[in-house]
Amino acid sequence: MNNVIPLQNSPERVSLLPIAPGVDFATAVALRRMATSTGATPAYLLAPEVSALLWYMPDQRHHMLFATMWNTGIRIGEARTLTPESFDLDGLRPFVRVLSEKVRARRGPHRKMRSAWSR
């Protein structure tokens, strides 16, 4: 099986990689080398690496989910509570309204759930 991204990123092989458009993989490799120069591997992915992973996601729903999680920093539990009303895309600066687990617990059951439970 051919690896899309080789295990060892040598500058000679970087230009041969079929990577997402708009991702400068040579810069990504340089960033990764700089991040690992201290001897410890960072516990996160760099933006070009995430972009490359998203590029290869065929399911648009998964792509949207992971792109939203990456760009907002939310966790899967918070992402599962998002609704179309959570997204404000009309203003100058689009944003996503996310309620944490603590806030949801303080507010009680969701209105729709509350009305369903009261029957």
Q: Which two tokens stand for residue 117?
A: 């439970």
Residue 97 CA to residue 68 CA, distance in Å, equals 12
> Residues 40, 51, 11, CA angle at the centre, nearest 5°?
60
Domain ranges of the chain: 1-56
> Residues 45, 47, 85, CA angle at the centre, nearest 5°?
105
Crossing angle for the helix pair 47-55 and 60-72, nearest 10 degrees? Answer: 170
Read off the pLDDT of residues 11-58 as tens digits, 9 standing for 90 and up.
444 444 455 556 677 777 787 788 788 877 766 777 777 888 888 888
pTM above 0.75, yes or no: no
For residue 63, pLDDT over 80 is answered with: yes
Residue 76 CA to residue 56 CA, distance in Å, equals 20
